[in-house]
Amino acid sequence: MVIVGTILILHGGQNDITLHDIPLYTAEGEFTEGEKNTFNTQYPEASYYFMVETGDLRTGIYDITVDYAMPVYHDYYTITCEYGIDGKSYPAVYAEPHNLSSLSKSLTYRIWVNSKLDNLKIKISCGNQAGNVFELWQGSAFYVDKIEISRDYKRTVLYQGLKFLLLIALIDGSLLICWNRKWIGDRLRNNFYVIFGLICIFMVSSLSIFGKFSIGHQDIPFHYVRIIGLAEGLLGGSFPVKIQPGWLWGYGYAASVCYGDLLLYIPAVLYIIGVPIIHAYKFYILMCNLGTLFTSYFCYKKISGNKYVGVACTALYCLSITRILNIYLRTAVGEYTAFMFLPLVLLGVWKIYKEESKSFQNGGMLLCLGMTGIIQSHVISTEMSGIFIGLAVLLLIRKMTKRIFTTLAKSVAMSFCLNIGFLLPLFDYSLDALKVFAKKRSYGIQQAGLSLYELFSVGSTGMGEYHDGVLGVAGRIPESLGIAMLIVLLLMVTVAVKCQEWEPGAKKEFILSVVLSGIALWMTTYYFPYNRLAAVPGLKNIFTSIQFPWRFLSIAVPLLTYMAGQVFIKIGQMIGKRQMYCVLIVICVVGASQALYCMDMLNRSDDMSQAYYDYRDNRNHKWITSSGEYLLTGTDTFQTGLEQDVVGENVQLGVPERKGTQIQVACQAEENAKVTFPLFAYKYYQCKDMETGERFPIVRGDNNRIEMELPDHYQGTLKVCFVEPWHWRAAEIVSLLTLIWIIVCACRSRKHQGVLHITSAIMK
């Protein structure tokens, strides 16, 4: 069937289209008074645009290449693809506008044609979004040489084949359900409310994904480019990718060294296959939503011992305001990915202290896996989790035994070994002059904290930015606990006051959860003394790296949900299980309502109207690196657009050949010659002669570019590329071997439990 599908996709070839005659138009029609293929700002006042028609296009993925020239720096020329007489966009074509920059002479971007078209219009607007040409530099000219449209057969086959395989999997899954309908029906009847509740939670948390608009707002450009950078790194032959190519006119960016991106390889592979970046990213959110649903239900059900309480806790956790904002407003990919693993850490610590089993396979392994997920997702969440694990251990110091200490130590050691492939490069680069590790201000973080009003506010304005709290709440990110969690806090007070009977140890566990949750909430506010703590030399980097106190809501929410599970069980003992189930339903409904309201406020704002399918050209903007955390200190991102060539002194250079973070160029040097490459001089770049293998030392030149001095009268071909050092590779091998060992131990444990189960059945 796959072969048949491929044949259908390739049936009927599509010839490449090259358009040289590019007419210029005004609102009145074609402009024939100027030079061919040229727009000049000295033309009479009007709104001008170039437009060509492609003719018939078959379904598939196309690359559109525009060759042009503009002598003066500005980015007011915008190219769009339009299908339809009225110029509106239709689902038949996935495409977005792209700006043509004077820093380049060519732009290649990708479009997706989802059904056969009789015509596609390619339009280049000459002016700003309103068509005002007089904001352009007067006297400047813009020349369009040609526009090429070519079908990418490889990606078309992969993309269409992927959709075909998903359809086959859906059909096979339906047949499997029908074949096993009795077995599935029995389990569905026994767990109908649990399954129904989890499906509802998943759908509510994922509803925004099914819109045609982009998901996310504030950091979405950064994470789009991270995914594309991983994809291009893989295509360039790097694995794991460390220096992502393509950023800032190809200078490269050390995002993968400093920011865990293990799970981002999934959308990166989808992008390689040909999936539009918006859909690859939406799939990633769906995956995280599903993973968070499973981990939170598994953990809170285990802790509470009641599956219905587990569902309610899952609703509280997955539909919390801070998680919704992390996904759909802040686009805090690292934080909401870490959210998926925080319940595993909580359950791991709970099992270590609660259960008497000496086996490391229980709590210790869960703690190890949870911390691994957090480390590979978000370094700041790792710091915050470490702070509260240490705090919990201190508060429970009287319960410390040899078994608990040994299990905790094993878990820490195992987590370190499992993640050393990421941690060692991170530590290595932390010793270098990267901006993220540079000296930071010891004041300012406290003003970003929430007020008590914000923490307990019940509404949401949807949109918001970072502002100091002293300026008021207008325009601030609407972080809060939400109504559902406020109800839980009221129930907690009721339980604490009216509950008279506690099981042995249950009261201490409840008090511990209240204390830890209270500390986490305190740390989200500006009442916590961040400025004083940040002034302490040993604590300065820890607290200043947090940036925003409300990030501790990521710790407060799982702890409050843990406390909520205890509260629900006590409510059931006080008023009866039937009444408790009514309370759980109210909690779920309120949680779903607040999440839907928050998402609706976000989605209906103007900032969410744009959809991006191919984001490659935006990597060149200086703002794409945000505040440039992973750049070398002193880097001017604006200069990267002006310094794109391999240049030298006292040397003749050939035409450079570039692939990813690798550049080759032929050189013929005189005396005192040096060559400068348009690559950031991160550690472990190498330069060598292609024939002899001789290496040349690299230094950081102007704007932290790679620079080297050549021997007098050198003649040969230089190759500059990033090469992982041996100790990085050794660390990756240790991580791989640790992972294999964990899998083997898990399989043995599962097999051993199966044997015990069979033996027990025979004995009975």
Report the pLDDT averaged over residues 397-407: 90
CA dihedral 283, 285, 291, 292 (to 10 degrees): -170
Supply the pLDDT for residue 544.
77
* C-beta of residue 326 within 8 angstroms of C-beta of residue 348: no
On the question of pLDDT at 25 being above 80, the answer is yes
Confidence of residue 700 (pLDDT cuts 50, 70, 90): very high
Residues 132 and 13 in one domain: yes
Supply the pLDDT for residue 8.
53
Contacting residues for 179 by C-beta, under 8 A, at least 6 apart: none
Report the pLDDT averaged over residues 379-402: 93
**510 three-state secondary structure:** helix
Contacting residues for 368 by C-beta, under 8 A, at least 6 apart: 348, 411, 414, 415, 418, 742
On the question of pLDDT at 764 being above 60, the answer is no
Supply the pLDDT for residue 546.
82
CA dihedral 200, 202, 205, 208 (to 10 degrees): -90
Residue at 263 is within a domain? no
Residue at 43 is within a domain? yes
Cα angle: 4, vertex 7, 9; to 5 degrees: 110
Residue range of the domain that includes 598: 188-217+276-608
CA-closest candidate to residue 75, choices 124, 121, 21: 124
CB-based burial of residue 542 (10 Å sphere; 0-12 exposed, 13-18 middle, 19+ buried)?
middle
% of the chain residues with pLDDT over 70: 88
Per-chain mean pLDDT for the chain: 85
Question: What is the secondary structure of 466-498 as a DSSP string?
Answer: ---GGG-STTB------HHHHHHHHHHHHHHHH
**239 three-state secondary structure:** coil
**HSE-CB of 306 using CA atoms within 13 angstroms:** 20
Domain boundary among 109, 141, 156: 156
**Positive/negative CA dihedral, 604, 609, 611, 615:** negative
Main-chain dihedrals φ then ψ at residue 438, nearest 5 degrees: -75, 170
Supply the pLDDT for residue 77.
82
Distance CA 277, CA 614 (A): 6
Residue at 603 is within a domain? yes
Residue at 212 is within a domain? yes
Residues 584 and 681 in one domain: no
Cα angle: 384, vertex 265, 172; to 5 degrees: 115
* C-beta of residue 477 within 8 angstroms of C-beta of residue 466: yes
What residue has token string 């948390």? 205
Cα 240 to chain center, whole Å? Answer: 17
Residue at 252 is within a domain? no
CA dihedral 399, 401, 403, 405 (to 10 degrees): 90
Report the pLDDT averaged over residues 298-315: 94
Query: Poorest-confidence range of 122-126, 394-398, 665-669, 756-760?
Result: 756-760
- Helix, strand, coil content of the chain in percent (nearest 5): 55, 15, 30
Beta strand residue intervals within 319-398, DSSP E: none
- How many other β-carbons are positioned within 10 Å of the β-carbon of residue 443? 13
Supply the pLDDT for residue 189.
66
Residues 314 and 440 in one domain: yes
Q: Which CATH number covers residue 707?
A: 2.60.420
On the question of pLDDT at 83 being above 90, the answer is no
Supply the pLDDT for residue 442.
53
379-395 and 342-354 helices cross at what angle (nearest 10)?
20
Domain boundary among 562, 582, 608: 608
Residues 144 and 194 in one domain: no
Residues 150 and 109 in one domain: yes
pLDDT digits (tens, 9 = 90+) for 655-687: 898 888 899 999 998 888 999 999 999 999 999
Supply the pLDDT for residue 130.
52
Report the pLDDT averaged over residues 61-73: 85
Terminal CA-CA length for the chain: 50
CA-closest candidate to residue 388, choices 440, 346, 358: 346
- Please name the helix (run of DSSP H) or strand (run of DSSP E) that holds residue 404, with its range, or none: helix 402-430
Is it true that the peptide bond before 71 is cis, omega within 30 degrees of 0? Answer: no
Q: The tokens of 715 are what?
A: 């003649």
101 or 678: which leads in pLDDT: 678
Residue at 260 is within a domain? no
pLDDT digits (tens, 9 = 90+) for 580-628: 999 999 999 999 999 999 888 888 876 666 788 998 888 888 778 877 8
pTM: 0.91
Residues 656 and 590 in one domain: no
Query: Poorest-confidence range of 57-61, 158-162, 272-276?
Result: 158-162
Report the pLDDT averaged over residues 705-722: 91
CB-based burial of residue 464 (10 Å sphere; 0-12 exposed, 13-18 middle, 19+ buried)?
buried
CA-closest candidate to residue 147, choices 52, 69, 26: 52
Q: The tokens of 366 are what?
A: 């869960």
Supply the pLDDT for residue 86.
57
Supply the pLDDT for residue 626.
74
Cα 428 to chain center, whole Å? Answer: 23
Residue at 248 is within a domain? no
On the question of pLDDT at 238 being above 60, the answer is yes
**26 three-state secondary structure:** strand
DSSP 505: T
* Number of domains forming the structure of the chain: 3
Residues 548 and 504 in one domain: yes
Report the pLDDT averaged over residues 349-357: 83
**HSE-CB of 718 using CA atoms within 13 angstroms:** 34
Confidence of residue 758 (pLDDT cuts 50, 70, 90): very low
Main-chain dihedrals φ then ψ at residue 304, nearest 5 degrees: -80, -25
Q: The tokens of 619 are what?
A: 């990597």
Residues 58 and 201 in one domain: no
Is it true that the peptide bond before 245 is cis, omega within 30 degrees of 0? Answer: no
- Please name the helix (run of DSSP H) or strand (run of DSSP E) that holds residue 669, with its range, or none: strand 662-680
2 or 749: which leads in pLDDT: 749
CB-based burial of residue 185 (10 Å sphere; 0-12 exposed, 13-18 middle, 19+ buried)?
exposed
Distance CA 228, CA 267 (A): 9
Q: The tokens of 337 are what?
A: 């990915």
Confidence of residue 166 (pLDDT cuts 50, 70, 90): confident
Supply the pLDDT for residue 421.
95
Report the pLDDT averaged over residues 652-656: 90
Q: The tokens of 624 are what?
A: 């794409």
Distance CA 329, CA 550 (A): 14
Q: The tokens of 79 are what?
A: 């190219």
pLDDT digits (tens, 9 = 90+) for 413-469: 999 999 999 999 999 998 888 887 665 555 567 888 888 988 988 766 677 777 776
CA-closest candidate to residue 638, choices 647, 628, 646: 628
Residues 558 and 673 in one domain: no
* C-beta of residue 223 within 8 angstroms of C-beta of residue 299: no
Domain boundary among 585, 608, 631: 608
pLDDT digits (tens, 9 = 90+) for 29-43: 888 888 888 888 888
Helices and strands counted in the chain (H then E)? 24, 19
Residues 99 and 212 in one domain: no
% of the chain residues with pLDDT over 90: 44
CA-closest candidate to residue 114, choices 165, 63, 61, 65: 61
Contacting residues for 671 by C-beta, under 8 A, at least 6 apart: 650, 712, 713
Residues 415 and 470 in one domain: yes
Distance CA 111, CA 5 (A): 22
Report the pLDDT averaged over residues 737-763: 64
Confidence of residue 344 (pLDDT cuts 50, 70, 90): very high
Report the pLDDT averaged over residues 11-40: 84
Supply the pLDDT for residue 186.
60
Residue at 764 is within a domain? no
Contacting residues for 94 by C-beta, under 8 A, at least 6 apart: 111, 112, 114, 276, 613
Distance CA 508, CA 585 (A): 28
Distance CA 397, CA 515 (A): 15
Q: Which CATH number covers residue 62?
A: 2.60.120.380
Residues 138 and 203 in one domain: no
* C-beta of residue 623 within 8 angstroms of C-beta of residue 232: no
* C-beta of residue 644 within 8 angstroms of C-beta of residue 249: yes
Rank 206-220, 385-399, 630-644 by mean pLDDT and report only the highest.
385-399
